[in-house]
Amino acid sequence: MIDVRALQAGVGQFRLADIHLKIDAGDCHVIVGPTGAGKTFLLETIIGIREPGSGTILINGQDVTRLPPNKRHVAYVPQDTCLFPNMTVDQNIRYGLRFGNGSRAADHEFIGHLNDFLHITPLLERYPQHLSGGEKQRVALARALVTKPDLLVLDEPFSAIDHSLREEIRRTLKELLDEFHTTTLIVTHDLDEAFFLGNRLSILIGGRIIQSGDRTEIYYYPKTLAAASFLGIKNLFRGQVVDIRPDEITISSEQLHRTIAVSCKCAHKRFGLRQQIRFGIRSEAVYILRHKANLEARTSVFDSIVKKIYMRGKMHTVIVALDTPEHTLVEIDIHDAAARKIGIAEGGVLKIDLDPTHIFLLPEV
Amino acid sequence: MNNGFRRVTIFAALSLFLLFALLVLSLFGFTSLSGFLRIATSERVITSMQLSVGAALMATGLSLLIAIPAGYALSRYEFFGKNLVDLTLEVPMVVTPVALGALLLIFLNTRFGELLRQAGFSFVFTFPGIVLAQFVTTVGIATRMVKTTFDGISQRYEVVACTLGATPTEAFTSVALPMAKQGILATTVLTFAKCIGEFGATIMIAGSMPMKTETLPISIFMRLSTADIQGMAVLILILLFIGLSALVFIKTVLETSHD
């Protein structure tokens, strides 16, 4: 288990502030954030090439905060893989066995299994210069896992790989982590990658972790405006709390001209009566209703007019204006096949539902 | 692209070659094959060649002994006085070799120089003096070249090696150094070529004693001062041959490494 407590570190004007991070054994945790958020800096502090100002890093209960990288049992795969060009694939993979890893080091059977799993057995005699991006990534993973590390750290693992190969390598990595139960920390700015790989995620912005949680929680229920913006959520509205119960909160929104009841755990602890708040919903959680649907009584159902359709391959983004005095715009993501079936066209009328079970609430800043 | 512009730039490049070709060809007007062989195989010239090559090999070795760790430190670490050290590397370039030799001579006449002499290290008018002069004039540039080589190698390779269990020294010797091989080889050959051609500092410290401290460049100067043009032409051709061989060697090695 990895336990980072109150970690603070800085370089120049940049500071990592009060980082808390727990990764259970065998879990895959993804730190996601925009460029310049401090993801790589945090990772470098955890692997030991930067010294923190304060805080502790515990790996399986051992305090490694002041240990050099070669004593931490943390394997690192940088974004450009950094395979040693002066060694063959086989020599690269076995590199970690040279240095006193003793009983931790993998045996030949394990290496063979790893090589087969990653389909690199036919590549063993080649030099890295003669490998494709995907092959390099697989070799780098094998090299890291051979030492049976307590923590595997991956920095933007797919950024140097062609788009066409990414999905394949992502699946390979996912299967690999499931097969070998390696505790893993990944940093990335790619949300697709983060939600695909991480069991748990943390959003890092400006050197601070602003939210940690499981995949669904982070995906549908951001807790701050910064997190919602980073996740690319466009449907954000203003409202006021008009009623609070332990697990439900009622919001009145002049912007939407409605009063909507939303499920919210511990609502009374997070919000107060008459508090101005923001609330929002992901574009794929906005449903388009058939005209005969029996949901008209719901206060979250709106008539709308399609203003714009953006075709994005298998998904379309539909911008609609609600039939309210303010004509508030709402973004909807819908599959190409569904859009064709419904026959969505610009200027057409749609009945939509801002599904209250997917509405998230944010304190007004 | 404008055709006239293309022609002008290519002409500039070709005229550069033409200039040096003409200079070298002019040497052949002052010597014949038999004259070349007679002078080139004379005892004095052979001794000069042996002195030049021997001293250059030793000075190159010494330069690299300092340049590799120093270049690595300048490339990888932040430390007090780093900018000052970096600036120092260029001193042999901005101070003429004669002045550098004079500096050395003055230093060897200080109390510290006296102590060195008493300890058995004698440099003035000796072979070690030649090595010292060549070392001082090349160590800065060799360090600069090694630093540039390491700058071109991402430090992440060593970080990866360390996370796999290597100590910083093991990461250096097993990863960084082999990756810097081509650059260090180029540094070695260029340092050697510069040592072979070193004149100013060498004559200030080691003088121009035939059969003792007379390296090839000094020998050229001595032949000129006695109006022995044919002897001078032969020595220049020998020096050119050694220098060009070194450059061709580097070019071949570097091109092979890119295949």
Residue A314: how many other CB atoms lie within 10 Å? 8
Whether residue B164 and residue A49 make contact (CB cut-off 8 A), yes or no, is: no
pLDDT at A268 over 90: no
Residue A185 forms contact with B (CB below 8 Å): no
Could you report the per-residue pLDDT of B30-62, keeping only the tens digit for each? Answer: 888 888 999 989 999 999 999 999 999 999 999
pLDDT of residue B2: 67
Contacts of A245 (CB under 8 A, 6+ apart): A267, A268
Whether residue A99 and residue B159 make contact (CB cut-off 8 A), yes or no, is: no
Whether residue B159 and residue A96 make contact (CB cut-off 8 A), yes or no, is: no
Q: In which residue are the tokens 């009584």 written?
A: A297
Residues of B in contact with A47 (CB under 8 A): 159, 163
Report the alpha-carbon distance of residue B203 to residue B215 in Å, rounded. Answer: 9
Residues of B in contact with A143 (CB under 8 A): 164
Using CB atoms, which residue from A70, A77, A153 is nearest to B165? A70
Chain B residue with CA closest to A153: the answer is B163
Whether residue B163 and residue A80 make contact (CB cut-off 8 A), yes or no, is: no
Query: Phi and psi (nearest 5°) for A202?
Result: -130, 140
Report the alpha-carbon distance of residue A289 to residue A296 in Å, rounded. Answer: 9
Chain A residue with CA closest to B168: the answer is A70
Across all residues in chain B, what is the average pLDDT?
91
Report the alpha-carbon distance of residue A74 to residue A57 in Å, rounded. Answer: 12
Residue A143 forms contact with B (CB below 8 Å): yes
Instruction: Please say whether the dihedral angle defined by the alpha carbons of residues B36, B40, B44 and B49, taken in this order, is positive or negative.
Output: positive
pLDDT at A308 over 80: yes
* 3-class DSSP assignment, residue A108: helix
Report the alpha-carbon distance of residue B186 to residue B183 in Å, rounded. Answer: 5
Residues of B in contact with A69 (CB under 8 A): 159, 162-163
Whether residue A75 and residue B163 make contact (CB cut-off 8 A), yes or no, is: yes
Pick from A179, A185, A210, A209: nearest CA to A198 = A185
- Kind of pairing between the strands at A200-205 and A54-59: unpaired
- CB of A353 within 8 A of CB of A286? yes
Residues forming beta bridges with residue A185, ordered by sequence position: A29, A153
**Residue type at B95 in one-letter notation:** V
Whether residue A84 and residue B159 make contact (CB cut-off 8 A), yes or no, is: no
pLDDT at A295 over 80: no
Tell me the shortest Cα–Cα distance from B61 to chain A, in angstroms. Answer: 24
Could you report the per-residue pLDDT of A27-56, keeping only the tens digit for each? Answer: 999 999 998 899 999 999 999 999 999 999
Tell me the shortest Cα–Cα distance from B182 to chain A, in angstroms. Answer: 12
- ipTM comes to 0.83
Q: Which two tokens stand for residue A338?
A: 């569904």
Residue A55: how many other CB atoms lie within 10 Å? 17
Could you report the per-residue pLDDT of B2-24, keeping only the tens digit for each? Answer: 688 999 999 999 999 999 999 99
* 3-class DSSP assignment, residue A28: strand
Report the alpha-carbon distance of residue A302 to residue B192 in Å, rounded. Answer: 83
Could you report the per-residue pLDDT of A51-85, keeping only the tens digit for each? Answer: 999 999 999 999 999 999 999 999 999 989 999 99
Higher pLDDT, B127 or A272: B127
Residue A182 forms contact with B (CB below 8 Å): no
Residues forming beta bridges with residue A15, ordered by sequence position: A10
pLDDT of residue A170: 87
Whether residue B161 and residue A76 make contact (CB cut-off 8 A), yes or no, is: no
pTM, rounded to two decimals: 0.82
DSSP string computed for A271-304: --TT-EEEEEE-GGGEEEEPTT-TTTTSTTEEEE
Across all residues in chain A, what is the average pLDDT?
89
Residue B257 forms contact with A (CB below 8 Å): no
Q: What percent of chain A has pLDDT over 70?
A: 95
Chain B residue with CA closest to A47: the answer is B163
Contacts of A113 (CB under 8 A, 6+ apart): none
Whether residue B159 and residue A95 make contact (CB cut-off 8 A), yes or no, is: no
Report the alpha-carbon distance of residue A318 to residue A330 in Å, rounded. Answer: 8
Query: Chain B, 132-161: which have a CB under 8 Å from a chain A CB?
Result: 154, 156-157, 159-161
What is the DSSP secondary structure assignment for residue A86, as one 8-state letter? T
Query: Chain A, 45-74: which have a CB under 8 Å from a chain B CB?
Result: 47-49, 68-70, 72, 74
